[in-house]
Chain A
Amino acid sequence: MSQYLITQFLNGLVLGSLYVLLSIGLSAIFGMLGIINFAHGALYMLGAYAAYTVVGVLSGNFLIAILVVPLAIGLIGALLETTLLRRLYRVVPLYNLLLTFGLMLAIQDAVRIGYGPEGEPFNIPSALLGAVNLGFTYYPKYRLFIFAITVLASIGLILFLEKTKLGSIIRAGTEDSDMVDALGIDIGKIFTLVFGIGAALAGLAGVLAAPVQNVAPAMGMSFLVDTFVVVVIGGMGSIIGSIIAGLIIGETLTIGVLIWPPMATTLIYVFMAIILLIRPRGLFGREKFHE
């Protein structure tokens, strides 16, 4: 039993990893641009389909997909920001919601038309097949790989934000974008960059999820709702908050299923409600920030 629990705990970390990658972008985009990006789940789905195209259709290497797909999805995100989202920053948030919601539907239907509605098979790459002996239990290699990539991506992102000039500009812009602009920095370009990085992380999550989730046009939709819960719990605009809340929600879902399956999905909303009651800005949200 205890070994089973440990396995479930590790499963929770792996599921949580995908939430972490998705919610960092969602949270950063909301924190800086003030936009609730409903298209985020569609970008994640697009990442999975792009990986399928690279590996399944073009018989490319999975590692190539991991490197190229996030870049491509990031560029698509940057393109969406410069051509569409940018026009709506100064208007009522409702318009942004409509736009990103519409984008989500359009991307989903485009994929449905291109690849069909039923979903695509995606095998775990052969190099990552099998299980690893962790000493106390055996655990699938590929799932550990998801966790490891997430850890690397998170550390890389934190170092970039904390140690580089560009990172300090992004942090400053999350606090007060007008003031950054007044210091001579074109904040529009920073917005594009942040949206692009967020999209790239969603794309990366999509690639990583492709072998373990069903690659289908609607795969981003249900994931997105849970990711919003993660962002709210972690605190808008906080990376550390996204990481911690993502892992907590991953664990809540996988451990909750053990106790009583129907309860698991409800549990995350109960958890969110409690957090909102005792700490409305989320675990790591800043004071007076979009409150």
Chain B
Amino acid sequence: MLEIKDIHTYYGESYILQGVSLELQKGELVTLLGRNGAGKTTTIKTIMGFLIPRPGAIHFKGREITGLRPHQIARMGMGFVPEDRRIFSSLTVLENLNLPVVGGGSDGWSLDKIFEHFSILEERIRHKGSELSGGEQQMLAIARILRSGAELLLLDEPTEGLAPFLIRTIEGIMKEIKKSGMTVLLVEQNIHFATEVADRHYILYGGKIAYHETNQEFKGNEEVKRKFLGI
């Protein structure tokens, strides 16, 4: 589904990704873990086309996407939920939900299906993005991308700053997304959440992949957690 081969990405003058390779099979939920500044968000932004790796190659559904613009990558079926949600504050919930272009060959979720899983959004449908709480904005950011019919989701810290009950809601949605056959690359700081939902984990350390194992192995590997994540 997604294959990243030895990408090197600069952010201005800083050399952030120093040769990152990773691979996602269809239907997998894989996390990208690491401390602050390890290059997790940079990896996501590079996949989405905001940053161009030099050198390095990214293949999505068998096609090279390196150098394509974000909207071209999105239309192939890649969905992006950024770290700070980036809900359009002057648009209503409904307008936010109707914005994405449906692409990638599969239909997006209907509004009915969205409201079935995100009932809070239905109550808020006429409200502007600026009137939503942090949790509601996160729900909207995820719901919005599900409308696009994306086959691969890039999720950047969906649980950040959320109350425990909202994290459980997101956990439920993650499982639902996985059940529907979507592939997910999840950037996460919340290790408990990550081990609840993921199949495999990659750990970024100093701009490189330092560890890559199944969820089972990672759960019991205290040394790796201490060494690379500081916990």
30 contacts between A and B (CB under 8 A): A168-B98, A169-B99, A171-B88, A172-B88, A172-B90, A172-B95, A175-B88, A175-B90, A178-B70, A179-B82, A179-B88, A181-B70, A181-B71, A181-B74, A182-B50, A182-B70, A182-B74, A182-B80, A183-B74, A183-B99, A184-B71, A184-B74, A184-B100, A184-B101, A184-B148, A185-B101, A186-B69, A186-B71, A187-B71, A188-B69
Interface assignment of B34: CB less than 8 Å from any CB of chain A: no
Report the minimal beta-carbon distance from B186 to chain A, rounded to whole angstroms.
17
**Which residue of B86, B91, B145 is within 8 Å of A171 (Cβ)?**
B91
B151 → chain A closest CB, angstroms: 13
Q: Which residues of B contact A (CB under 8 A)?
A: 48, 50, 69-71, 74-75, 80, 82, 86, 88-91, 95, 98-103, 144-145, 148
Interface of B is mostly: loop
Interface residues of A (CB under 8 A from B): 165, 168-169, 171-172, 174-176, 178-188
- Docked pose: A169 CA to B90 CA in angstroms: 11
**Contacting residues, chain B, for A185 (C-beta < 8 A):** 71, 99, 101
Can you name the residue of chain B whose Cβ is closest to the Cβ of A173? Answer: B88
User: Could you tell me if B91 and A176 are in contact, using CB atoms closer than 8 angstroms?
Assistant: no
Binding site secondary structure of chain A: helix
Task: Tell me the bound Cα distance from A165 to B75 in angstroms.
Answer: 18
A-B contact sample (18 more), CB < 8 A, given A184-B103, A186-B69, A188-B69: A168-B95, A168-B98, A171-B88, A172-B91, A172-B95, A178-B50, A178-B70, A179-B82, A182-B50, A182-B71, A182-B74, A182-B80, A183-B71, A183-B74, A183-B100, A183-B144, A184-B100, A186-B71
Closest Cβ neighbor of B69 among chain A residues: A181
Given contacts A182-B80, A183-B148, contact A168 B91 (CB under 8 A): yes
- Given A182-B71, A184-B74, A184-B103, A176:B98 Cβ within 8 A: no
B90 touching A171 by the CB < 8 A rule? yes
